[in-house]
Amino acid sequence: MAQEAVYSPGLEGVIAGESEISRIDVKRNRLIIRGYDLVDFTEGGAAYEEVAYLLLFGALPTRAELDDFTQQLVSERQIPDPVMDILRQAPATAHPMSLLRTAVSALSFFDPDAEDNSHDANVRKAVRLLAKVPTMIMSGHRFAIGEEPVSPKDGLGHAANLLYMMRGSDPAGYEVAAMNVSLILYAEHGYNASAFAARVTASTMSDMHAAITTGIGTLAGPLHGGANEQAMAMLQEIGEASKGRQWVLDALAEKRKIMGFGHREYKSGDSRVPSLKQVGRDIAAAVGDTKWVELGDIVEETMISEKGIFPNVDFPCAYTYYMMKIPIPLYTPIFVASRIAGWAAHVIEQHDGNRLIRPDHIYTGPEGRAFEPVDQRR
């Protein structure tokens, strides 16, 4: 233990490791992925697959490399029958995040590299997971609504195929564009709770599937990825823009947390929000319904003026997905379909230069208690 160790609740401000993958530039409100400003991807018309490639391989793909990578993903989309059976047999009430966590864990039984933690095996597993996770999410969803799964469609990219497997029909171009941007924005975000948890698992030299399963379990909570679902539940409860301000004031007076707001790192706005807000506006214009955008703006204005707390990426994501008629319980699983690339990059980096992550703590329990054999205890 370091001599002058300082305890920081929630590990706030603690430097817990080194990484070449990404950094949050708080001063400029920017997210930098392997040296690139993420906004340049959303504004430059990149496909999610380019960001995933950058995360896994460290450099942007050439056209030929991107085509090859996209083809690899397409060819790996099918999932083993026993994993499909797990999805089929799960109760329809199971949350899709619980289902996905279980399915990813089960997928390891069928991965030829399952327990190989070498760099190349890890990359192969990451590609397979990236390809198969959308199929597992949407197959589970189809079973839950009493329908058969829709097979992936070869000609469609990651974003389009995700929507296709959800509905069984080709999505509109504006929907694919919106999904693509949201996937780019969700792909990676430094030492957040789920990436850190995945790294802790990987640091014991446990394998990729175990670490990704950890990541999914950690992302599910409402203080992390689960916030996008909670934010939409809140917007539905408020119902209309005219009630937005008072609803937020009442909730704050009751010391309730407003989901989709606040962030451990960003204190004056989340770098990913402007891009996703614009996508929300584009979708609202395309579907001809500005209700949710207007309500979102009022909640946002109230939170900023009353508390100085800004929305995080989950807030505009919530109403954007809602306008795209994506079922709310799929919001966080779709986050996984993107973040799997970031987690995998962290697991690979951890394994490549591993040292066990094992922090210390301050003991606050009793001392000096005298043991009594069980029959003498009262």
Nearest to ligand COA of 162, 220 (CB atom)? 220
Report in angstroms how near the CB of residue 89 gets to ligand COA at its nearest.
Answer: 32
Q: Which of 152, 215, 262, 316 binds ligand COA (CB under 6 A)?
A: 262
A 10 A CB-CB count for 26 gives 14
CA atoms of 22 and 174, how far apart (whole Å)? 29
Report in angstroms how near the CB of residue 262 gets to ligand COA at its nearest.
Answer: 2
Phi first, then psi: give them for residue 13, nearest 5 degrees: 80, 0
Residue with tokens 């995040």: 97
**In what side-by-side order are the strands of the sheet with 36-37?**
22-25, 30-33, 36-37
CA atoms of 180 and 323, how far apart (whole Å)? 15
Report in angstroms how near the CB of residue 271 gets to ligand COA at its nearest.
Answer: 12
CA end-to-end distance (rounded Å), the chain: 39
Residue with tokens 């370091």: 2
H or E segment to which residue 276 belongs: helix 273-287
Q: Which of 21, 73, 106, 227 binds ligand COA (CB under 6 A)?
A: 227
Asked if 209 is an active-site residue, the reply is no
Asked if 224 is an active-site residue, the reply is yes
Using rule CB under 6 A, residue 299 touches ligand COA: no
Residue with tokens 């401000």: 13
Residue with tokens 């909640």: 299
Asked if 250 is an active-site residue, the reply is no
**Cβ proximity of 108 and 220 under 8 Å:** no
Query: With contacts defined by CB under 6 A, how many residues of the chain interact with ligand COA?
Result: 16
Nearest to ligand COA of 192, 350 (CB atom)? 192
Shortest CA distance to 52 belongs to which of 150, 138, 158? 158
Stretches 75-83, 155-163, 222-230, 323-331: which one binds ligand COA (CB under 6 A)? 222-230
Nearest to ligand COA of 166, 219 (CB atom)? 219
Report in angstroms how near the CB of residue 259 gets to ligand COA at its nearest.
Answer: 5
Stretches 29-37, 92-100, 221-229, 271-279: which one binds ligand COA (CB under 6 A)? 221-229
Neighbouring-strand partners of residue 25: 30
Q: Which of 140, 171, 217, 260 binds ligand COA (CB under 6 A)?
A: 260
> What is the number of alpha carbons within 13 Å of residue 232 lying toward its C-beta?
23
Report in angstroms how near the CB of residue 317 gets to ligand COA at its nearest.
Answer: 10
**Cβ proximity of 56 and 127 under 8 Å:** yes
A 10 A CB-CB count for 93 gives 7
Nearest to ligand COA of 52, 219 (CB atom)? 219
Radius of gyration of the chain from Cα atoms?
Answer: 22
Q: Which of 46, 83, 258, 347 binds ligand COA (CB under 6 A)?
A: 258
Residues comprising the chain, all counted: 378
CA atoms of 153 and 77, how far apart (whole Å)? 9
Nearest to ligand COA of 10, 365 (CB atom)? 10
Phi first, then psi: give them for residue 366, nearest 5 degrees: -70, 165
Sequence-distant (≥ 6) Cβ neighbours of residue 156 within 8 angstroms: 164, 170
CA atoms of 367 and 223, how far apart (whole Å)? 34
Using rule CB under 6 A, residue 263 touches ligand COA: yes
**Cβ proximity of 55 and 21 under 8 Å:** yes
Query: From the candidates 158, 189, 263, 351, which is the catalytic residue?
Result: 263
Q: Which residue is nearest to ligand COA (CB)?
A: 262
Nearest to ligand COA of 102, 312 (CB atom)? 312
Residues 312-341 that bind ligand COA (CB under 6 A): 312, 314
Query: From the candidates 113, 207, 270, 314, which is the catalytic residue?
Result: 314
Stretches 242-250, 305-313, 349-357, 358-366: which one binds ligand COA (CB under 6 A)? 305-313
Nearest to ligand COA of 263, 346 (CB atom)? 263
Q: Which of 223, 233, 249, 285 binds ligand COA (CB under 6 A)?
A: 223
Q: Which of 60, 94, 309, 357 binds ligand COA (CB under 6 A)?
A: 309
Using rule CB under 6 A, residue 266 touches ligand COA: no
Q: Which residues are catalytic, by number?
A: 224, 263, 314
Q: Binding residues for ligand COA, per CB under 6 A?
A: 10, 223-224, 227, 257-264, 307, 309, 312, 314
